[in-house]
Amino acid sequence: MKRLIVMAVSLFLIFPCISPLSAFAEGTADYTAEIAEELDGILSEFGTGFEMSDIENLSLANLWDRLWQEFSTRLSSPMKMMSSVFLVIVFSAVVKSFADSSDDMYNMICVIASVIVILPRLTEVYGGILQSIQTMGGFILVFVPVLSAVSVACGGFTTAGVCHMLLLGASEVIVRISECYLMPVLGITASIGATGSVFPNTSLDSIVNLLKKAVTWGISITMTLFTGFVTLKCTITGRADGAAGKTAKMLVSGFVPIVGGAVSDAYSTVKGSFEVIGGTVGAAGFVAIAIIILPTLLELLVYRFVMWAGSAAADVFGADSISKLLKSIDGGFAIAQCVMICYSVIFILCTAILMKTFGG
């Protein structure tokens, strides 16, 4: 009778040592598969051409090939604009030989010819910039919850909530500001440049420079303050989450008889596996943002080079009105470039901060 009682008690105590470990492993596998499926759907929806399984072995050469493939299809438009601008500059030089360069009619003809050439492609560029910002905002809207879920699985309950709220809020604000104010500001810079180029005695370059400095400095300072605030909040909440996790492990290890140490070790193993998954998810986010934003940024840099080259050629041929117009348009491009770079940097830094917090 005693032997039966001893055997029954022994089985009762041994069973908890076996059951929780298998349950944790099964749950981790299911959760990993669910995250991979969700992330693959997001990457496919935004046309990155990669899956979660490809991120671990992704090389810079493969990423560059994908970016170059996307960027090379956009090179023809800036090159056409460059050739058209040069033709207008040569035309203005010919007209100059028959007219007084200080005549308002001469300047108006040169500016109108330049606007006719530049305006269609300028509208296309502005539309592409806004579309890239909106696409990036849509990606962040569906990607951040996945990364936050991994952070929660790693024990970063408070950190995930803070970063989730701040990053989604900042993304939505930037997208709305770009839709409501960025496009009008770009249009204003082009209009001011065209108006100031017609009349040589009236210079409106200072207004364009004021707009450019106000926007670039404003968004740069805002980006710095925002990322600093996110870093501070995530650091504090990360320490609190880490202390809570260590306390829970200590309580389980100390108060659960026999199997407490095994459960504590199992929790550490599962948390480590989720940290690896979080690193892969974060890298996938970086790759997606590069594919979404870099081709447009590179195209914008090429357009800015066209403006620089055209302005230099206009100065050589004495077409001051065209030079002023191109410099004003380049000021608008500089504003758009600053917005896109700061937006992507905010997302990358906040993602890296969250990864570092739950990884630490």
> For position 178, what pLDDT does the model report?
83
- CA–CA gap between residue 216 and residue 218 (Å, rounded): 5
For the chain, percent helix, then strand, then coil, each to nearest 5? 90, 0, 10
The mean pLDDT value for 185-193 works out to: 80
**CA–CA gap between residue 298 and residue 130 (Å, rounded):** 15
**Could you give the 3-state DSSP secondary structure of residue 122?**
helix
The whole-number pLDDT of residue 227 equals 81
Q: Tens of pLDDT along 210-250?
A: 888 888 888 888 888 888 887 777 777 766 555 555 555 55
For residue 92 the two structure tokens come to: 């203005």
Cβ partners under 8 Å of residue 240, min gap 6: 158
Q: What is the DSSP string of 317-340?
A: HT-HHHHHHHHHHHHHHHHHHHHH
- CA-nearest of 165, 154, 139, 143 to 233 is 165
DSSP state of 179: I
Instruction: Report pLDDT digits (tens) over 270-305.
Output: 556 666 676 777 788 888 888 888 888 988 999 999
- pLDDT band, residue 138 (cuts 50/70/90): confident
- How is the chain split into domains, by residue range? 81-359
Among positive and negative, which fits the CA dihedral 297, 299, 300, 301? positive
Entry pTM: 0.76
Confidence at residue 84, expressed as pLDDT on a 0 to 100 scale = 84
Mean local confidence (pLDDT), 321-333 = 84
**Per-residue b or e along 150-161, where b marks 16 or more CB atoms closer than 10 Å to that residue's CB:** bbbbbbbbbbbe
